[in-house]
Amino acid sequence: MSSPQFRSRLAPSPTGALHLGNARTFLVNWALARQRGWQIMLRIEDLDGPRVKPGAAEESIEILQWLGLDWDEGPTYQLADLTPYQAALYQLASQGDIYSCTCTRKEIEAASLSAPHGDEHELRYPGTCRPSQPVPLAAEQLLNKGTALRLRVPQGVVKFVDQFAGEQSLDVDESVGDFLVATKLGLPGYQLAVVVDDARQAIDQVVRSDDLLSSTPRQMILYEKLGLGPLPQYTHLPLVVGEDGRRLAKRHGDSRLSYFRELGVPPDRIIGLLAEWCGLSDRQPMTAKGFLQLFELQCLPFEQVVYTSSDEAWLLGND
């Protein structure tokens, strides 16, 4: 039975094809939701400008269905309507919480050489364009090509308890500093868009991979500045990495689900491998429904999952 007060989302970015790591996160998110009666929205996060690949959104949807996942609402596309993000930027601007920034990546990189910080997605911003006093911005200065917008990040540590990863604390000012809320392409930044959407779509359960763990305190600051809430509960899952310990990518061979599908690998094998990665069973083919019956969050290993050549051989039936 679905209880309307709990809502979760699957939020693929169509910047590339879904790979086995994405599939594990979506499968766990889906299973948690279906076990606990949360509603599921499908949100396509297509604001990442030139990195968005034509056809990738449609392909992701098809692949999720092929795996046996379903959802109750959507797909919605962020790019289809920028007004909610504009309204949020307008609010932040009128509060004096954001400012325009014209720094190039090179300039920021040069500054971070002397004070290295940041995370894998964002370098620490040295504050070059930050005005000494908050300066309100006019509506026409928001979402303009050529000028990025940054949030004046308050000092201090942000704390939260993750439903899987446990207690977390991060000083956003020290780690990434004033982060982007709009990019030079004139589009809302990821941190802003995700908060605006999670709040307006009443998402209270966010399940995603732990490369986004350090983004959560940034998002919590935005919730506060925008007067939104309550905060969702966050569940961050360990990443799937290659044998070299680096996040799953092209260098580890082809881990795209479309690749396996084209080779005739049945979805049951993919789910079987994901089930093993979730600590459920030794590799045996299973359907999404079978996974749902077995899945327990407590069984999920805390360590990163390593995708090996023997996993690939098993998927391809060469074991």
Residue with tokens 């098993």: 314
Distances (CA, A) of 97 to 73, 143, 180: 33, 15, 12
Stretch that binds ligand GLU, among 6-14, 81-89, 160-168, 170-178 (CB under 6 A): 6-14
Q: Which of 208, 218, 236, 252 binds ligand GLU (CB under 6 A)?
A: 208
CB of 193 to ligand GLU, least distance (A): 9
Cis before residue 116, ω within 30 degrees of 0? no
| Contacting ligand GLU within 210-239 (CB under 6 A) | 212
- From the list 288, 289, 283, the residue with the least C-alpha distance to 307 is 283
CB nearer to ligand GLU: give 212 or 292. 212
Distance CA 258, CA 86 (A): 35
Residue 45 binds ligand GLU, judged by CB under 6 A: yes
Binding mask 237-276 for ligand GLU (x = CB under 6 A): ----------------------------------------
CB of 194 to ligand GLU, least distance (A): 5
Q: CA 34: distance to chain centroid?
A: 20
Closest Cα to residue 291, out of 23, 12, 11, 8?
A: 23
Residue-wise burial string across 207-235, b where 16 or more C-beta atoms lie within 10 A, e elsewhere? bbbbbbbbbbbbbbbbbebbeeeebbbbb
Q: Does 194 bind ligand GLU (CB under 6 A)?
A: yes
Number of residues that bind ligand GLU (CB under 6 A): 7
Among 7, 12, 274, 277, binds ligand GLU (CB under 6 A): 12
- Least Cβ distance, residue 279 to ligand GLU (angstroms): 22
Tokens standing for 186? 């004139």
C-beta closer to ligand GLU: residue 61 or 103: 61
Least separation in angstroms between CB 302 and ligand GLU: 20
Please identify, using beta-carbon distances, which residue of 100 and 235 lies nearer to ligand GLU. Answer: 235
11 counts as binding ligand GLU under rule CB under 6 A: yes
DSSP notation for 38-97? -EEEEEE---SGGGPPTTHHHHHHHHHHHHT---SEEEEEGGG--HHHHHHHHHHHHTT-
Closer residue to ligand GLU in complex, CB, 248/286:
248
Cα–Cα distance for residue pair 79/81, rounded to 1 Å: 6
Q: Are the beta carbons of 43 and 74 closer than 8 angstroms?
A: yes
Q: Which is nearer to ligand GLU, 149 or 212 (CB)?
A: 212
Distance of closest approach, residue 86 Cβ to ligand GLU, in angstroms: 20
Window of 10-18, 31-39, 258-266, 279-287 that interacts with ligand GLU by CB under 6 A: 10-18
In single-letter form, the type of residue at position 300 comes to L
| Part of the chain binding ligand GLU (CB under 6 A), chosen from 9-17, 52-60, 116-124, 230-238 | 9-17
Round to whole Å and give the CA distance between 11 and 75: 9
Q: Site residues (CB under 6 A) for ligand GLU? A: 11-13, 45, 194, 208, 212
